[in-house]
Amino acid sequence: MLETVENARRPETAAAPFPAQYLKAFRFMLLARVLDDKIASLGRAGKIHGGVFLGRGQEALSASLGMALQPGDIFAPLIRDGAGRLAFGEPMLDAVRTYLGSVLGPMRGRDGNVHRGRPRNGLLPMISHLGAMISVVNGALMAKRFQNVQGVVGAACLGDGGTSTGAFHEGLNQAAVEHLPLVLVVADNQYAYSTPTSRQFACRDLADKAIGYGVTPHSLDGTDLEGCLKVVFAAVAQARAGGGPQLVVASLLRLCGHGEHDDAQYVDPLLKQSPLGRDCLIVAEERLLREGWADVKSLKALRHTVTQEVEEAVATVQREPAPDPYQENWCALASRHLSETFASPPPDGTA
């Protein structure tokens, strides 16, 4: 059974027993990882046009955020937020269809890979320009305020590299000035493509930036699911309760290249061996076993189920049509009567 926007976006409550919440998050992490592995495999097989971008190593953080958000919230995920998307309720088919270019997907072949969303469901489709989604989330939250809709939170995701943009500064400052319920989650994954953090910023810790904007900082270990759940849920709750913008900075290591075209040979081996280099999925699985919240058999069954879900989605989408350029309306305007028609030579070349 595939998750849908409707049935997956049940609000989390603090009353949910922690092991159940942990296991639920683990399931989203595992689903995202298996889906990523499948997409990477399809990419290697030449089945995907354009780039493949994985969330390996960031699933705990991302799933925690997706679970902390509720129906009616606004979510602007970034490229490594497959787990958060699933937890927020993005149908897995959206991911597969957008990667494979199915005309039935939300982007219909007009945009690809991680550039997908359903704005009407609060899921904003990222553009490639980092930091640009922050102010868009702000505006959505301002709209909610105009409309007297209470209790809404907006979340935007970014990496360490994105904090160097002007859009980050403008967006976070704007959220603070407007006292918006924005949760800005920064995955400090040590590299922006190949650039290490030492060439990205000179502050001690990215969370230190929060005070300069008048927003609340939160720091966490992105390899530890429990820490992610607790801190991210607390930040979201604080924003929802009227506490203004929250800046969550997670330390972790990107366990893949920037994209699958990138072998990431530049990653410092010492970082890989450090606590930052732990795989959050393995850490979480070990915790599940250690605490007795799951056993080897049930985890094996879970992995089987999740793999089946992914295989089913891919098999479904592989039978779906690609966009037909002759069926495309080639119109970028909602007001179609105002679209331009440009004269072009007749197809047979005669004047």
Query: How far, in Å, CA of 316 to CA of 348, rounded?
Result: 40
Shortest Å, Cβ 250 to another protein: 24
Residue type present at position 124: L
Shortest Å, Cβ 263 to another protein: 29
Shortest Å, Cβ 245 to another protein: 13
Shortest Å, Cβ 13 to another protein: 25
Nearer to another protein among residue 197 and residue 246 (C-beta)? 246
Nearer to another protein among residue 265 and residue 335 (C-beta)? 335
Nearer to another protein among residue 53 and residue 168 (C-beta)? 168
What is the contact surface with another protein in residues (CB under 8 A)? Answer: 74, 106-107, 110-111, 115, 117-120, 124-125, 127-129, 132-144, 146-147, 166-167, 170-171, 173-174, 177, 331-335, 337-340, 343
Per the structure block, which two tokens stand in for 26?
A: 């683990």
Shortest Å, Cβ 262 to another protein: 23
Among 272, 224, 213, smallest CA distance to 250 is for 224
Shortest Å, Cβ 339 to another protein: 7
Nearer to another protein among residue 119 and residue 151 (C-beta)? 119
Distances (CA, A) of 55 to 1, 70, 150, 296, 326: 23, 22, 32, 25, 35
Nearer to another protein among residue 128 and residue 198 (C-beta)? 128
| 46-68 CB burial, b ≥16 within 10 A, e <16 | eebeebbbbbbbbbbbbbbbbbb
Q: Provide the β-strand partners of residue 216.
A: 246
Shortest Å, Cβ 57 to another protein: 28
Nearer to another protein among residue 87 and residue 126 (C-beta)? 126
Nearer to another protein among residue 111 and residue 260 (C-beta)? 111
Shortest Å, Cβ 142 to another protein: 5
| Rg (alpha carbons) of the chain, rounded to whole number | 21
Nearer to another protein among residue 137 and residue 276 (C-beta)? 137
Shortest Å, Cβ 332 to another protein: 4
Query: How far, in Å, CA of 278 to CA of 190, rounded?
Result: 13
Nearer to another protein among residue 72 and residue 243 (C-beta)? 72
